[in-house]
């Protein structure tokens, strides 16, 4: 109703096992492990907070438009990409 978009992450997206700081992915992480340290960068992660950060970043990268271009994710796929429009800064001298 308010123009929001729903982004669905892949069912097998490793949001808990991927370091939100350096993107290192663990081979396995037991469900009972609630806090872990990234072996690549040393960041200490709370499992749920890390997963939330990764899911947020995944959603943002799928929907954000830069300078009017379409998002990079699988939210909208079109056959023909619309032409880019040049954006110029309007400067009014004082």
Per-residue pLDDT reduced to its tens digit, 27-41: 999 999 999 999 999
Residue 66 CA to residue 52 CA, distance in Å, equals 24
Q: Does the predicted TM-score (pTM) go above 0.85?
A: no
CB atoms within 10 A of CB 7: 16
Q: Please give the pLDDT value at position 40.
A: 95
Strands 44-46 and 35-37: antiparallel
Q: How far apart are CA 64 and CA 85, in angstroms?
A: 17
Task: Please report, for residues 21, 61, 72, 78, the alpha-carbon distance to residue 75 in angstroms, rounded to integers and kept in the order given.
Answer: 25, 10, 8, 10
């Amino acid at each position: 109703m308010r123009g929001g978009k729903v982004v669905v992450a892949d069912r097998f997206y490793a949001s808990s096992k991927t370091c939100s700081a350096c993107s290192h992915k663990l081979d396995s992480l037991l469900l009972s492990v609630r806090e872990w340290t990234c072996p690549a960068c040393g960041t200490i992660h709370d499992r749920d907070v890390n997963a939330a950060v990764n899911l947020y970043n995944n959603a943002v990268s799928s929907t954000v438009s830069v300078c009017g271009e379409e998002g990079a994710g699988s939210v909208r796929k079109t056959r023909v990409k619309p032409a880019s429009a040049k954006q110029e800064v309007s400067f009014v001298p004082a």
